[in-house]
A = this chain, B = another copy of it.
Amino acid sequence: MNDLDSFLNFLCKIQPLSPEGQDAILSLCSQVPIAKNQNLQDIGQKCHTIYFVKEGLARIFYLKDGIEVTEYFAFENDLIIRAESLFRDKPSTKAIQALENTVFIGIPAEALFSLFDQFAEIERLFRKIIEQAYVNTVIRMEAIQFHPAEERYAQLLAEKPNLIQRISLKHIASYLGITQVSLSRIRAAVR
């Protein structure tokens, strides 16, 4: 019994993997515990690692005029990568931060890509994972493009009701593309 079993199980639901394939992935996985409010990766670093959240909660954020803007929240089993750095080999303008005590699973990208030659099933797995990430981003962009902030907040609450208990409002506000003052107003109006 390995404590990455539930993670492997999660992967196999996306794409069934042979025992050999599973072992190959496992051999690349390392667990990285990060304390609450600490960064897993800092702004300015090139991203060479694909991360998942094993337990805890994390976000990607960047700085806009000195203010932190949250781009993405990752919960258990969620993929968390800085795609614009990883797939373009450029330094990232974003950081990955643990919002709770969090254990990440890290997979070195180069080593993983090498596995693709040997295991087509693993390439397929990650193709599907990226497809899902892509679809999620398209859907989120639609929301942010033309829905007023109040709708976006309501929608977020409907999708992830427990979010509000685990994440501070200022992070939620910047994720919604508004200020925390504005979010406070929205909450007051709903109440």
Contacts and interface: CB of A to CB of B under 8 A. Distances in A.
Interface of A: 62, 64, 69, 71, 83-84, 87-88, 116, 120, 123-124, 126-127, 130-135, 137-142, 144-147, 174, 177
A141 B140 contact: yes
Contact of A134 (B137, B142, B145, B146): B137
Contacts of A130: 127, 130-131, 134
Given A71-B145, A140-B141, 17 more contacts: A71-B142, A83-B135, A87-B131, A87-B134, A88-B135, A116-B124, A120-B120, A123-B123, A123-B127, A130-B131, A130-B134, A133-B134, A134-B134, A137-B137, A141-B144, A144-B144, A144-B177
